[in-house]
Each structure stands twice: as structure tokens, then as C-alpha cells.
């Protein structure tokens, strides 16, 4: 039994899917909605008719699919120049395709469809499965010879003949009832024509018709009236507003004569700028109020130089200690050639290079020092003086500390000189070691 019909680009159907239930299925709908196309689709699958306008306009092919209870599908494919079949068995990934088989459908397709035509002895064929609007039941409008041949070939001819007689009898009864109904309708119309309308009812009907026409006319005027009322309300509001404006304007004196305001604008701009500067000055004063006055700035070049020298001395001492610890286990160096003159030149070059580097570092330090800000007179002068006294005391303390550092530096220099005098020469290279050259660049062994 067929359980589903699918039409794709078939006649007026772009895609239509119908699921059929068990028993009788009725297909209803207005005219030209595609009911006959579904019946024609069944006929195409069963008979593979000659090419006709089955393909929907704009499509390349039409497809009609019939699905059966066991989920097997038979697809009739109609292209512009040929037609074919596809059989999809349940679970199969590819269909069985049939092309170039002649006019009659292939036997495999007919075995699945079971919609074969009944062949008559006279060579004709009768479709007992699919009907149409003109022949809803087979043999209804066929010649008697076809009916006799079919009944002779059928094993259930008596039942089919009885069905045909019943259908003919019902058709005759329906036509007779239709004629009776038409005759009765004509009699009722003639009887109704003999009655005359009552005067009052006719007058009331006319009045009602006139009232209805008047009501319809007034109904059409209602939106116009609403627009007029809305416009009137808006005009009243505008009039009230303008009356109030006129009342206010009565007490207004004539505006004074206009004058050149460029000077006034410049003055106003200047006042605004002064106000801005004053606001910034007040904010700056509030921010600087809790700050102490900047102490007096002194020249720190000498202190910077001294600190640099102390750092160099400390590094040289550490390196000398390391060299002394390393040179204990070093064997006596080989006897060196006399390079006194070359050594003196190299020493001078190294001294100049060291002094140049020191001066470069001193210049870099001096360039990084910013200029002291300009001291402005303020009401906090007393507190500034107190701060200056404190700074002077701190300055004296720093001077005392600096004197102590200079004394320590001098003591260190004396210690280094004593140590160098005790050594007499460099323990590594055996060269002369001078205290001034050693403090500047230590003893170099790359010569």
C-alpha cells in the first residue's frame, strides 16, 4: 500500500508531500489547486506516458516519489528529453536506476508498484487503479466490447458488473432527484411571486433604507468632523498662547539702540583670562601652602668629584686585594725587556683617558642637575627662614662629615703610599708603581 506521495517540480507543484492513511483517503480543495495533478502523477509513475508538459516552469526535471509500507521508494524522473526510474530499498545508500527501457516501465518497477494495466483480448489496456474526473470508475464510458473483454479476462467479473450497475443506478437516481429539486424550486418561485408586499412593511423598509444611507453618509463625514474639531482645538491653544505673549509684550519697552561692542568684548575676554589666571594662582597657592621652602642650592661639583674618586679608590682596593690573593701562587714572571719609554707614553695616555672619562662623567652629572626654581615672596617667609636655619645647620653637619671623609681619604692615600713603597714594584709585571698613577687607573698589565 502507498503511504506517501511526494511531487517535486511536477506541473503546478514545486514540492508537495502527502501522507496517506489506512483505508479511504479523500482529497478536497478549490478548483485549480492541483488535485488532478496528483492523480496524473500516479498515472505517470504507473504508465510512463509520452512526453508532456509535466515539468514545472523554470525547473530542469520533475520527480514523483511513491513510498510503500516497507519504506521502499519508487521515483519517476521526467527530464526534457528522457524519463527514468529509481528504486530506493530500505537501508540502501544508492538507488537502482533504470534508463533507456522503452515506453513500458521496467518489470522491477512494476513488481514494486503493483499498478499494472489489465490487458484485453482485443489488444487494449484498462487502468483499474487510477481514474480521472471524466472517468472516475473504469469501464464507465468504455465501449461494450471493452467491458465484455475485461469481464471475460477478470476472475471477479460478477462483482465488478454489480458495482457498475450500482453506480449507474445511483447516477440515475441522483439525476432524477436533481430534476425534482429544480421543478420544486420553480414552483416555489411562482408561489412567492403571487404574494404582494404589505404597505407598512414596505414603508418601514424604505425608511430603514433611507436611514441606512444617511447613516453611511454621516459615517463618512465623522473623520472629517474629527479633523475639524482637532484643528479648532489646536487653533484655540495657539490663540491662547499668542494672547499671553501679546499681554507680556505690552509692558516691554523699546530696545535700546545698539552700539559697537568690540571693545566690550575684548574687555570681557580680558576679564575672563584674568579670572582664569587668578583661579590657577589660588589653586597653586593652596597646593604650595603645606610645602617647605626650597633650601639653598650649593655647588656640589667638588663633592661629586670626591665621591667619584672614593668609589674609584674602593674599586681599586678591591681589585688589588683580589690580585694580591691570586698572585700568591703565581710563579715569577719572565724577565721583561726594557720598555720604560713606551710604558711612560702608555701611562700618560691612560692618565689622559681616565681624566677625560672623569670629566665626561662630571659634565653628564652637571647637565642632569636642573636649575633651581625662582623663589617668590610669600607670607610664609618666616617659616622659610626657619627652614633656612635648619638647612644651614645641616650644611655645617655635612661639612663636618665631608672633612671627616677627606681625612679618611687622606689616611687611605697614606696607607696606599706606604703599601706601594713597601712593595716597590708591581708584583705581577714587575713595573714601577707610582701612587698618583695607581690611584687614577691602578696598575695596568695590557702593555
SS (H, E, C) 44-92: HHHHCCCCCCCECCCCCEEEEEEEECCCCEEEEEEECCCEEEEEECCCC
> What is the reported pLDDT for 226?
85
Cβ neighbours, 10 Å, residue 140 = 14
The pLDDT confidence band at residue 97, using thresholds 50, 70 and 90, is: very high
**Has residue 447 got a pLDDT over 50?**
no
Give Cα separations from 289 to 29, 275, 278, 284, 376 (angstroms): 98, 21, 16, 8, 13
Residues 6+ apart with CB under 8 A from 314: none
> What is the reported pLDDT for 238?
87
Q: What is the rounded average pLDDT of the residues 164-185?
A: 83
Cα–Cα distance for residue pair 439/315, rounded to 1 Å: 10
**Has residue 89 got a pLDDT over 90?**
yes
The pLDDT confidence band at residue 433, using thresholds 50, 70 and 90, is: low
Task: Classify 403 as helix, strand or coil.
Answer: helix
The pLDDT confidence band at residue 17, using thresholds 50, 70 and 90, is: very high
Q: What is the rounded average pLDDT of the residues 341-346?
A: 79
**Has residue 200 got a pLDDT over 80?**
no
> What is the reported pLDDT for 415?
83
> What is the reported pLDDT for 427?
65
**Has residue 159 got a pLDDT over 70?**
no
Cβ neighbours, 10 Å, residue 69 = 9
The DSSP output letter for 328 is G
- Cell, residue 204: 418601514
Alpha-carbon dihedral sign for residues 339, 342, 347, 348: positive
Closest Cα partner for 342 from 221, 444, 414? Answer: 444
Largest CA-CA distance found in the chain, in angstroms, rounded: 166
CA angle 282, 286, 287 (to 5 degrees): 120
Amino acid at each position: 500500500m502507498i503511504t506517501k506521495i511526494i511531487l517535486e517540480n511536477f506541473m503546478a507543484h514545486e514540492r508537495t508531500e502527502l501522507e496517506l492513511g489506512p483505508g479511504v483517503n479523500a482529497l478536497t480543495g478549490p478548483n485549480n489547486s492541483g488535485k488532478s495533478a496528483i492523480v496524473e502523477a500516479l498515472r505517470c509513475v504507473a504508465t510512463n506516458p509520452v512526453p508532456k508538459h509535466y515539468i514545472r516552469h523554470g525547473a530542469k526535471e520533475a520527480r514523483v516519489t511513491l513510498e510503500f509500507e516497507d519504506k521502499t521508494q519508487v521515483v519517476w524522473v521526467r527530464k526534457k528529453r528522457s524519463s527514468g526510474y529509481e528504486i530506493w530499498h530500505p537501508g540502501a545508500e544508492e538507488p537502482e536506476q533504470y534508463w533507456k527501457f522503452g515506453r513500458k516501465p521496467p518489470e522491477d518497477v512494476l513488481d514494486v508498484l503493483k499498478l499494472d494495466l489489465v490487458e484485453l483480448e482485443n489488444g487494449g489496456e484498462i487502468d483499474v487503479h487510477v481514474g480521472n474526473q471524466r472517468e472516475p470508475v473504469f469501464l464507465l464510458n468504455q465501449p461494450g466490447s471493452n467491458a465484455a473483454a475485461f469481464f471475460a479476462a477478470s476472475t471477479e467479473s460478477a462483482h465488478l458488473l454489480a458495482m457498475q450497475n450500482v453506480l449507474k443506478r445511483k447516477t440515475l437516481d441522483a439525476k432524477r432527484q436533481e430534476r425534482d429539486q429544480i421543478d420544486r424550486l420553480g414552483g416555489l418561485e411562482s408561489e412567492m411571486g403571487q404574494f404582494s408586499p404589505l404597505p407598512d412593511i414596505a414603508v418601514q423598509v424604505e425608511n430603514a433604507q433611507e436611514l441606512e444611507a444617511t447613516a453611511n453618509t454621516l459615517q463618512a463625514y465623522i473623520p472629517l468632523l474629527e479633523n475639524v474639531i482637532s484643528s479648532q482645538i489646536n487653533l484655540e491653544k495657539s490663540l491662547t498662547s499668542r494672547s499671553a505673549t501679546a499681554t507680556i509684550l505690552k509692558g516691554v519697552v523699546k530696545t535700546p539702540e545698539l552700539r559697537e561692542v568690540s571693545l566690550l568684548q575684548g574687555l570681557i575676554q580680558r576679564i575672563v583670562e584674568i579670572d582664569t589666571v587668578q583661579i590657577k594662582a589660588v589653586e597653586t597657592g593652596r597646593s604650595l601652602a603645606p610645602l617647605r621652602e626650597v633650601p639653598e642650592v650649593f655647588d656640589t661639583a667638588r663633592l661629586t668629584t670626591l665621591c667619584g674618586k672614593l668609589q674609584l679608590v674602593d674599586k681599586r682596593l678591591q681589585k688589588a686585594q683580589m690580585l694580591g690573593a691570586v698572585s700568591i701562587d703565581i710563579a715569577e714572571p719572565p724577565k721583561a725587556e726594557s720598555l720604560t719609554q713606551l710604558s711612560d707614553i702608555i701611562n700618560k695616555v691612560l692618565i689622559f683617558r681616565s681624566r677625560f672619562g672623569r670629566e665626561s662623567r662630571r659634565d653628564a652629572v652637571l647637565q642632569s642637575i636642573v636649575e633651581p626654581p625662582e623663589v617668590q615672596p610669600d607670607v610664609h617667609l618666616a617659616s622659610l627662614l626657619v627652614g633656612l636655619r635648619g638647612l644651614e645647620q645641616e650644611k655645617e653637619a655635612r661639612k663636618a662629615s665631608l672633612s671627616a671623609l677627606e681625612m679618611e681619604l687622606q689616611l687611605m692615600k697614606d696607607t696606599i703610599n706606604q703599601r706601594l713603597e713597601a712593595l716597590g714594584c708591581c708584583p705581577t709585571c714587575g713595573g714601577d708603581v707610582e701612587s698618583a698613577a695607581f690611584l687614577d687607573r691602578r696598575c695596568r698589565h695590557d702593555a
